[in-house]
Amino acid sequence: MGNPIYKVCCVLLLLGSSASLTGVKGQNVLQGNILMPAEKGKFFGIYQGYQKKSASSLTGEEAALNHPDQNVFVSLHPKDFQPELIPTPNVYITQKEESFLPKVVAVTKGSTVYLLNEDNQYHNVYSRTPKAIFNIGRRPPGHSYPQKINKIGVVRLFCDIHEQMQGYILSYDTPYFTRVDENGVYRLENLPDGSYRMEVLHPGKPKLSLDVELSGGTTQNKDIDLEKGL
C-alpha cells in the first residue's frame, strides 16, 4: 500500500493541474501566501485533537501534517461554468498514536476516503455531520474501511473510544483546490478563464471568501492574512 500520508500529499499537489473540466480552457495561475499567526498552534492547541503528548513515534512528515498551521486549504469555485468533478483517487486517513493523520484531507464530492487503523489498539470512526452520517464500528489494527463522501462541505470525524481524536474531510464541488505548504504558499495552475469565488479554509477559523477574475493566461498573486481575515 505504501505510505498513506505520501499518497494524500501527492493527490493534493496534483489536483490543481490534472483535473479535467468543462468551460473555456486557459493557462491562468493563481498563487500567493497565506499569512499565519506568529504564535504557532494559535488556532488549535497543539494537543487538542492533534496528537497525544506521548506521540513520539510520528515521523517528521506525519508531525508536520498533524500541525495546525499545515491544515489550510485554498479552493476556487467557478461562477460562470460548471467544472467536471472526477473522484479524488487514493485518499487515506490513518489512525496512529491516537490521532487522525492527516487531520484534514480534501476531496471532490463523490470520492472515497479510505480509513485505516495503523495503531496498536482498536479504533472507531464516525460522523454526525448532516448528510454525511456514518459509523464504521470498532476496527482492529491493520483494518481499512472505504467511506464514500457524497456531501459538499466539511465532514467532521471522531473516534468513540478516544474522545480527543478529531479529523476533517473537506468535500468540494470544484476540482481546483490545494493544501497550503509549510511556508504558507499556495499555487493553482491551468485554470480556465472565468469568474471564481476563492475560499480559504482552516477548520479553526471562519471561512474567508473573495471574488477573483482570471483571463488571458495570466498569473495573479493573492495574499491572505488568515488571522485578520484580509
Residue 177 has pLDDT above 60, yes or no: yes
Residue 152 has which C-alpha cell? 459538499
CB 212 within 8 A of CB 21: no
- Please compute the mean of the pLDDT values over residues 140-156 and round it to a whole number: 95
Q: What is the pLDDT of residue 38?
A: 65
Q: pLDDT digit string (tens) for 64-73?
A: 555 556 788 9
C-alpha 63/C-alpha 99 separation (Å) is 10
C-alpha 187/C-alpha 174 separation (Å) is 15
Q: Percent of the chain having pLDDT more than 70?
A: 73
Judging by beta carbons within 10 Å of its beta carbon (0-12, 13-18, 19+), is residue 6 exposed, middle or buried? exposed
Residue 196 has pLDDT above 80, yes or no: yes
Q: pLDDT digit string (tens) for 9-23?
A: 333 333 333 333 344
Residue 211 has pLDDT above 60, yes or no: yes
Q: What is the pLDDT of residue 16?
A: 37
Rounded to whole angstroms, what are the CA distances from 134 to 124, 128, 145, 160? 11, 7, 12, 12
Q: CA geometry: angle at 20 spanning 16 and 25, to 5°? A: 85
Q: Percent of the chain having pLDDT more than 90?
A: 58
- Please compute the mean of the pLDDT values over residues 18-37 and round it to a whole number: 69
Residue 55 has pLDDT above 80, yes or no: no
Q: What is the pLDDT of residue 181?
A: 87
Q: Find where cell 485578520 sits.
A: 228
Residue 100 has pLDDT above 70, yes or no: yes
Task: Indicate the range of 30-39, 123-132, 186-195, 209-218 predicted with least confidence.
Answer: 30-39
Q: What is the pLDDT of residue 102?
A: 87
